[in-house]
C-alpha cells in the first residue's frame, strides 16, 4: 500500500469514527489512528502480499524529449501538462484492469497479471497502450490550439516471469515486481520513438494472431548476450480494430553526442576539394544533426568523414566516409544546425554506428 493510499484509508476510518460519535474528524484523531494502524497494516501487508513467482505483462510509458521542453515553456505550464499526462495514463491503466506500479520521473510503469491474473492480461495491456497513444494525440491537438506544450510518449510492453509481492521493511514497503522481464521492459522503452509502441519477442508471439506490426528492429541491450528483437505495434485487430496514430517521422532512436567531423560538398557527382569542419550533436541509425560553419540549402549532398575522437567513439579503426543529404538548416549562435539524412554508408560502418547508438541508449 502506497503512502498516499494509507493516508486516504486512515482519513476514511477517521471519518467513519467521527460520524458514529456525531463529531467532526480532528487532526488528533487521524494522528492517533496512524500511530495505531500503520504497524498493523505493515504486518497485514507482509502476510497477505507474500512474494510469489508469476507471469505478468509490464507496460512502461515515458515522455520523449521532456528535458528539451523545459527550455521553451515555463514550469507551471510543464507541470500542468505533466499532471494531465499522469492523470490520463493512470485512468487508462485502471480502466483496462491494470495496476499502476510506480511513477519514475516522467515515466509510468503498469502491471497486467499482478497482483491479479486474468487470461487476457496481454490483450488488455496492448489495448491500454494504444489508448494511451490515441489519448495523447488528442490532448496534444488541444494543447497546440491553446499554445501549450505537446507531450509525446514512447511505450514498451513485455511479458515474462517476475517475482511479485511486498518488498521493503517495516519502515517502508510497497507492492511491486522484480526480475529480468522488468529490466528488459525498461531497456526496451529507451528505443521507442514518439508515439510508438514496442513489443518484446514474448509479447509479439503471444499476440501475433490479433495484432498488426510495423518495423522490426534488432538491438543490443544491457544484460543480454544476444540481440533483442523489438516489434512496432501498428494496430489491434479485435475485438475492435484500434490503430496507433502515426506521429514520429524519425526511423530510429536518437542519442545526444559531441563528435568532430569534416565534410566536403558534392556537386554533379563530383567531390569538391574544399574541406569544412563541424561537430555532430545528435545521431541516429539513418541520420544526424551537426553544427556546421556555413549554410547548406536543402538537398545539398555532402561527404562526411568522422575524425579522431569521433572514430574511436564509434569503434572505427580507419576513417569512415558517409554520404548525406541536407534536410533543413537553421542558424544558432556561432554555427548552423543542420539536419542530415544518410544516403550511402558501408555495411560495416552502419553496423558499428548502430552498435554505438544502442550502447549509449542502454547506458542511459
Per-residue tens of pLDDT for the chain, all 364 residues:
454 567 778 888 888 888 888 777 777 887 888 778 877 766 665 555 678 899 999 999 999 877 767 767 788 888 888 999 999 999 999 999 999 999 998 999 999 999 999 999 999 999 999 999 999 999 988 888 887 888 889 999 999 999 998 887 766 778 899 999 999 999 999 888 889 999 999 999 999 999 999 989 888 787 788 889 999 999 999 889 999 998 755 667 788 888 888 999 998 878 899 999 999 998 888 889 999 999 999 989 999 887 554 545 555 544 456 889 999 999 999 999 999 988 877 666 677 777 778 777 766 5
Query: Tell me: the pLDDT tens digits for 274-284?
Result: 999 999 998 88
Same domain, 150 and 82: yes
Same domain, 301 and 233: no
Residue 249 lies in a domain: no
Residue 65 lies in a domain: yes
- Domain ends where: 224, 243, 262? 243
Residue 328 lies in a domain: yes
> SS3 letters for the chain?
CCHHHHHHHHHHHHHHHHHHCCCCCCHHHHHHHHHHHHHHHHHHHHHHCCCEEEEEEEEEEEEECHHHHCCCCCHHHHHHHHHHHHHHHHHHHHHCCCEEEEEECCEEEEEECCCCCCCCHHHHHHHHHHHHHHHHHHHHHHHHHCCCCCCEEEEEEEEEEEEEEEEECCCCEEEEEECHHHHHHHHHHCCCCCCCEEECHHHHHHHHHHEEEEEEEEECCCCCCCCEEEEEEEEECCCCCEECCCCCCCCCCEEEEEEEEEEEEEECCEECCCCEEEEEEEEECCEEEEEECCCCCCCCEEEEEECHHHHHHHCCCCCCEEEEEEEEEEEECCEEEEEEEEEECCHHHHHHHHHHHHHHHHHC
Same domain, 64 and 36: no
Same domain, 112 and 215: yes
Residue 7 lies in a domain: yes
Where in the sequence is the domain holding 29, given as residue range(s)? 3-48
Residue 248 lies in a domain: no
Residue 190 lies in a domain: yes
Same domain, 174 and 210: yes
Residue 143 lies in a domain: yes
Residue 34 lies in a domain: yes
Full-prediction pTM beyond 0.85? no
- Domain ends where: 243, 263, 289? 243
Same domain, 181 and 83: yes
Domain CATH for 297: 2.40.10.220
Same domain, 111 and 170: yes
Same domain, 101 and 200: yes
Domain CATH for 216: 3.30.70.1230
- Domain ends where: 220, 243, 266? 243
Same domain, 44 and 56: no
Same domain, 99 and 226: yes
Q: How many separate domains does the chain show?
A: 3
Same domain, 142 and 267: no
Same domain, 116 and 37: no
Amino acid at each position: 500500500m502506497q503512502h498516499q493510499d494509507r493516508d486516504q484509508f486512515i482519513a476514511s476510518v477517521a471519518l467513519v469514527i467521527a460520524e458514529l460519535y456525531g463529531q467532526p474528524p480532528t487532526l488528533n484523531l487521524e494522528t492517533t489512528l496512524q500511530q495505531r494502524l500503520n504497524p498493523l497494516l505493515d504486518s497485514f501487508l507482509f502476510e497477505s502480499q507474500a512474494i510469489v513467482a508469476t507471469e505478468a505483462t509490464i507496460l512502461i510509458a515515458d515522455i520523449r524529449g521532456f528535458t528539451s521542453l523545459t527550455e521553451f515553456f515555463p514550469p507551471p505550464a510543464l507541470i500542468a501538462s505533466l499532471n494531465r499526462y499522469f492523470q490520463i495514463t493512470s485512468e487508462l491503466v485502471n480502466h483496462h484492469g491494470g495496476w499502476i506500479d510506480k511513477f519514475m520521473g516522467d515515466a509510468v510503469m503498469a502491471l497486467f497479471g499482478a497482483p491479479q491474473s486474468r487470461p487476457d492480461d496481454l490483450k488488455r495491456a496492448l489495448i491500454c497502450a494504444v489508448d494511451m497513444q490515441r489519448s495523447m494525440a488528442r490532448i496534444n491537438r488541444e494543447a497546440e490550439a491553446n499554445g501549450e506544450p505537446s507531450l509525446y510518449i514512447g511505450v514498451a510492453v513485455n511479458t515474462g516471469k517476475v517475482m511479485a509481492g511486498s518488498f521493503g521493511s517495516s519502515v517502508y514497503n510497497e507492492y511491486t515486481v522484480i526480475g529480468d522481464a522488468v529490466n528488459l521492459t525498461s531497456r526496451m522503452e529507451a528505443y521507442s520513438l514518439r508515439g510508438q509502441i514496442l513489443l518484446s519477442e514474448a509479447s509479439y508471439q503471444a499476440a501475433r494472431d490479433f495484432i498488426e506490426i510495423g518495423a522490426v528492429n534488432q538491438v543490443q541491450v544491457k544484460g543480454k548476450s544476444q540481440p533483442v528483437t523489438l516489434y512496432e505495434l501498428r494496430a489491434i485487430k479485435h475485438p475492435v480494430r484500434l490503430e496507433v496514430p502515426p506521429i514520429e517521422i524519425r526511423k530510429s532512436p536518437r542519442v545526444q553526442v559531441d563528435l568532430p567531423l569534416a565534410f566536403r560538398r558534392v556537386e554533379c557527382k563530383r567531390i569538391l576539394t574544399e574541406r569544412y569542419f563541424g561537430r555532430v550533436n545528435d545521431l541516429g541509425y539513418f541520420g544526424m544533426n551537426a553544427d556546421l560553419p556555413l549554410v547548406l540549402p536543402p538537398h545539398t549532398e555532402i561527404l562526411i568523414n568522422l575524425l579522431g575522437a569521433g572514430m574511436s567513439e564509434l569503434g572505427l579503426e580507419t576513417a569512415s566516409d558517409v554520404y548525406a543529404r541536407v534536410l533543413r538548416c537553421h542558424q544558432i549562435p556561432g554555427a548552423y544546425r543542420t539536419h542530415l539524412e544518410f544516403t550511402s554508408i558501408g555495411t560495416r560502418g552502419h553496423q558499428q554506428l548502430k552498435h554505438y547508438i544502442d550502447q549509449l541508449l542502454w547506458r542511459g
